[in-house]
Amino acid sequence: MRSMFRRAAIVAAGTAAAAVLTVGTAGAAPASDWAGCPDGAVCVYPQGQTPAATPSLTFWSYGAHNLDGQYGYHWVLNNQYGGAHAKLCTGYNGTGNCYHDMEPQHGWWTDLTPVNSIVLYQ
């Protein structure tokens, strides 16, 4: 599933690059953004939306980030760099069962109903 998404992201990036070349660079996004998730961030997308949408949550700093009102399936993308990881935890403040250890440039389509925090770490 992840490799299909990565391939789709590469195709979309190529298509976007072609569009920029056609119309100019005035509205071009930085090349390091990934599906609207800024370089160095972890992003959560709205329920049931593809990462082509604008993220509903963006996290920048290491540590636990509590979630509120996030239910159902969402894309979670780790667009950090330098070996920084992200994981999903069932408890607040990074406690409980933590899973989906995401390396940089990886994402998960996952049910956030049992997730109460996302931890960013090196």
pLDDT digits (tens, 9 = 90+) for 25-35: 334 344 479 99
pLDDT digits (tens, 9 = 90+) for 37-83: 999 999 999 999 988 779 999 999 999 999 999 999 999 999 999 99
Q: Which residues pair with 10 in a beta bridge?
A: none
Rounded to whole angstroms, how far apart are CA atoms 63 and 85?
11
Question: What percentage of the chain carries pLDDT values higher than 70?
Answer: 75
CATH number for the domain formed by residue range(s) 34-121 = 2.60.20.10
CA distances from 18 to 13, 27, 54, 65 (A): 9, 13, 21, 37
Residue partners of 31: CB distance under 8 A and separation at least 6: none
- Given a cut of 50, whether residue 95 has pLDDT beyond it is yes
Backbone phi, psi, residue 80, to 5°: -75, 175
